[in-house]
C-alpha cells in the first residue's frame, strides 16, 4: 500500500498535514500550521515536487 498525506485542522482551527507510510506510521509532519486549506495543499505539493531531488546534508560529522 502506498503512503498518503493527511490534511487536518488543528486545535486552533488552522490546517496541518502529515505523511503516513503504507503501514500507517507517521513519517513526516508539517512544521507549521497554515491559515488556509489552499496554503496547506500548496505545502504538500511543494514536498511532492522537491523531496525526490533533495540532498542529504549529514551534519553528524
Reduce the secondary structure of the chain to three states and give it as a string: CCCEEEEEECCCCCEEEEEECCCCCEEEECCCCECCHHHHHHHHHHHHHHHHHCCCCCCCC
Put simply, whether the predicted model's pTM sits higher than 0.85 gets the answer no
Q: pLDDT tens for residues 2-61? A: 899 999 999 999 999 999 999 999 999 999 999 999 999 999 999 999 998 899 999 998
In the block, cell 542529504 appears at: 56
Position 52 scores a pLDDT of 87
Report the CATH superfamily, name and number, of domain 4-51. Answer: YegP-like (3.30.160.160)
In the block, cell 500550521 appears at: 33
- Distance in angstroms (rounded) separating the CA atoms of residues 19 and 27: 6
Amino acid at each position: 500500500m502506498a503512503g498518503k498525506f493527511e490534511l487536518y485542522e488543528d486545535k486552533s482551527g488552522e490546517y496541518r498535514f502529515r505523511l503516513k507510510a503504507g503501514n500507517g506510521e507517521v513519517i513526516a509532519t508539517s512544521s507549521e500550521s497554515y491559515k488556509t486549506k489552499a496554503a496547506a495543499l500548496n505545502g504538500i505539493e511543494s514536498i511532492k515536487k522537491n523531496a525526490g531531488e533533495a540532498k542529504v546534508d549529514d551534519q553528524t560529522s
